[in-house]
Structure formats: C-alpha cells, structure tokens
Structure 1
Amino acid sequence: MTLSKMLADAVQRAALRAVEQRAAAWIMASVTAVNGDGTVDISTARGPVLSVRRLRSYSSPVVGDVIKVSRNADGNWVVDGAYA
C-alpha cells in the first residue's frame, strides 16, 4: 500500500467519524442506575453514558429496562421511554 493510499484512507476514516459524531440518532440502551436527580445511567452498544435526563412520561425507571434514547447533533442525550 502506498503512502498516499494510506493517507487517503486515514482521512476518509476521520471524516466518517466526524459525521457520525455530529449526526442526530436514536438508539436502544439499558438502564444501569437510577439517579435521584431525574437522570439514569445507561449502557449502549458504544459504551456507558452517565446522567442522561429522562422525559416525564418515563416516570418509573428500573435498572435493566430496555429504553429508547435520542442523541442530538450537539451530543446531548435524552431517554424517550421504555420498551414494553
């Protein structure tokens, strides 16, 4: 592999990571801790996320709940609710 090909591949990987990080998304996660301040700690496929705010409609979180979580382009997270 040539140096220019390696550089092009590295630039492409960096651009893809940047786009993924700035994109809004929703994902499934599980609750790992319920905090007293209206937040929960969650486990996602990408790793743990601490102190995620939950919507009022998700009023009784329980450790182990499978939940839908949204993340906006700025990196803010919110728990939309639990799956049945």
Structure 2
Amino acid sequence: MTRLAEAIQRAAQDAVVQLSASWLMATVTAVNGDGTLNITTAAGPVPSVRRLRHYTASIGDKVMVAVNADGNWIVVGATAP
C-alpha cells in the first residue's frame, strides 16, 4: 500500500473507534458520596463514574460499564457473584 492509502485507512479506523459505543467489565475500587464510583478496568483506573440509581455499589463488585461515543461512562450494575 502507498503511504497515502495507509494514512487514509488509519484515519478511518481511528474515526470508527472514537465514534463507537461499547461496554466492558470493571471492579469497583471506591464508592464516593456524590453518587459516583471509582472503578478499575483492564485498561486501568477510571475515577468518578456515575451509576444507575437502582444499583447500590460495594467495593470489590464486578460491574458492567457502558461507554458512549462521547466518552461518557456509566456503571449499569453488578454481575452475579
């Protein structure tokens, strides 16, 4: 491939990654008083992530986390033990 074609392909791949939503698993490392949680993912720690109201978190919970295209994070809830 030419350099131009490689650059175009890289730019397209980066755009798709940046504009996509996803979900992942994490572990709760802290429960904050403002309704947020600190979590750790496979990629590292993430501070102050909002949680859904119905979910009461505990440190050590394994949780499902959703991330939207804008980069906003939310803890959906805990997985079964």
Shorter-chain TM-score range: 0.7 to 0.9
Q: Which has more helix, going by share of residues?
A: 1
- 1:82 alignment counterpart: 78
- 1:17 alignment counterpart: 14
Q: Please, what TM-score do these two structures have when normalized by structure 1?
A: 0.79
How many residue pairs were aligned? 80
**CA RMSD of the aligned region, Å?**
1.8
- Gaps of at least 5 residues in structure 1 are none
Taking a change above 3 Å as real, the CA distance of residues 64 and 13 of structure 1, as seen in their structure-2 partners, is: farther
1:5-28 deviation digits (Å, cap 9, x = unpaired): 5x6445534432332122111111
SS at match of 1:32: strand
- 1:28 alignment counterpart: 25
% identical aligned pairs: 61
Deviating beyond 4 angstroms after TM superposition, the runs of 4 or more aligned structure 1 residues are: none
Bigger shift: residues 15-24 or 62-71: 15-24
